[in-house]
Amino acid sequence: MRARGFRKVLVNDLVATLATAFFFWPIIYIILMSFKPYADIVTNPLGISSLTLRNYIEIFTAPGYSFTKYIINSLIISTGSTLLSLVISMPAAYSLVRFKTGNGNISFYILSLRLLPPIIFAVPLYIIYSSLGLVDTHLGLILLYATFNMPLTVFVLMSFIEEMPIELEEAALVDGASRLTIFKDIVIPLSLPGVIATSILNFMASWNEFLFALIFTMENAQTVTVGASLYITAWQIKWGHIAAAISVSIIPTVIFIAFMQRYIVRGLTMGALKT
């Protein structure tokens, strides 16, 4: 029995190691490529003969292509869209759970935003944005990302609120607390793990989004994903610069995952309160 259990654990560990290596290999390869000269990348893609920081230096210092601008734009847009999505989604989730707003129909309409491919909305939204002067602006992308991130945010927060004992709110109502006070002092604190989890997911989704950032920006509000693609020119594909830009762009998501992993796990599996 012990030998059988040991073999099972060994096989599980081996499978997990191989799966981890399989999924991490592209990331490792991109990071290694970012330190290689262009000549080595095209002549010896899998080998390493020399390393250099030139790719990183040039993406931050090249005239007209300073990657710092793209990072700042992404930080502003991702943070803004995350906050806006939470500000709207939290009261919406509470209303849908406690007051059964729309008798379930509104929940379906919110979810329907995730059922259609985003490219369907590109043309009409671009026409609207052009008439409102929101093309190539931070506000324009913030509104777009917040809109498309809200369905996930609403449904995750709804699951948290559904797990909260309604007796807590009823007791607060008996003590004379208003609905606003209950929402602020009871619902939000108990939903904090879900708020943090959805904040991270929203931020990562906004940070990594490419389609709308490409269509709705031209120069002023371009994000890191679009900035990385600009190194594909008519004369040359600057693989080292692209790899360096990608390596820099994954740093924020890695930091979030490293420091907030326990909130993600708890927020998506356990809920805010066990009864």
Paired with 232 in beta bridges are 237
Asked whether residue 38 is domain-assigned, the answer is no
Does residue 183 fall inside a structural domain? yes
pLDDT at 275: 40
pLDDT of residue 2: 60
Q: Are 157 and 91 in contact (CB under 8 A)?
A: no
> Is there a domain that residue 45 lies in?
no
Q: What is the CATH number of the domain that holds 159?
A: 1.10.3720.10
Residues of the chain with pLDDT under 70: 1-6, 64, 102-104, 260-275
Asked if 126 and 216 touch (Cβ cutoff 8 Å), the reply is yes
Q: Specify the pLDDT at position 152.
A: 86
CA distances from 170 to 94, 133, 163, 167 (A): 15, 47, 15, 5
User: Domain of 266?
Assistant: 67-270
Domain count, the chain: 1
pLDDT at 126: 94
- pTM of this prediction? 0.84
Task: Please tell me the distance from the alpha carbon of residue 164 to that of residue 11, in angstroms, as a whole number.
Answer: 41
